[in-house]
């Protein structure tokens, strides 16, 4: 199994090294992906020690139990995840490889389309 694209039911968002994103540290904005190299906890979905959010190198701290964010190191509630970047949303709305997803999730497509003011084709 590859980790290019998957779905995290806890945070209800796409994950994997194929998913462009921003650091989940508030007000950071660093461009990263949602791959294992950036996940708090260092394991899929954060493993036993992390929250499963994604952080740039400046905000992912190395400790004996693996890379963790400042909230997990101090046992505080996780940050609010950052929203999907427009580049990822447009990819899902327009790339032929996502046609099945578009067909199966019309409400999400309509919401993203409203948000981006883009017309989406449902042909293929």
57 with 107, same domain: the answer is: no
pLDDT at 1: 55
pLDDT at 62: 87
The answer to whether residue 47 sits within a structural domain is yes
Give how many domains the chain has, as a whole number: 2
Which residues have CB under 8 Å from 44's CB, separation 6+? Answer: 3, 36
pLDDT at 110: 93
64 with 101, same domain: the answer is: no
pLDDT at 117: 67
pLDDT along the chain (124 residues), means of 10: 86 96 96 96 93 96 88 94 95 96 94 71 49
Residue 94: which domain range?
A: 86-116
Could you tell me the pTM of the whole model?
0.87
94 with 64, same domain: the answer is: no
pLDDT at 80: 97
Q: What are phi and psi of 116, to 5 degrees?
A: -100, -10
């Amino acid at each position: 199994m590859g980790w290019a694209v998957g779905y995290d039911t806890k945070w209800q968002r796409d994950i994997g090294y194929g998913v462009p994103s921003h650091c989940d540290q508030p007000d950071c904005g660093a461009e990263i992906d949602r791959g294992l190299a950036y996940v708090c906890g260092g394991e899929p979905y954060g493993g036993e020690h992390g929250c499963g959010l994604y952080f740039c190198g400046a905000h992912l701290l190395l400790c004996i139990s693996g890379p963790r964010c400042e909230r997990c190191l101090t046992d505080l509630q996780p940050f609010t995840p950052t929203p999907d970047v427009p580049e990822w949303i447009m990819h899902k709305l327009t790339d032929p490889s996502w046609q099945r997803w578009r067909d199966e999730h019309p409400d999400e497509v309509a919401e993203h389309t409203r948000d981006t003011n883009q017309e989406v084709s449902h042909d293929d």
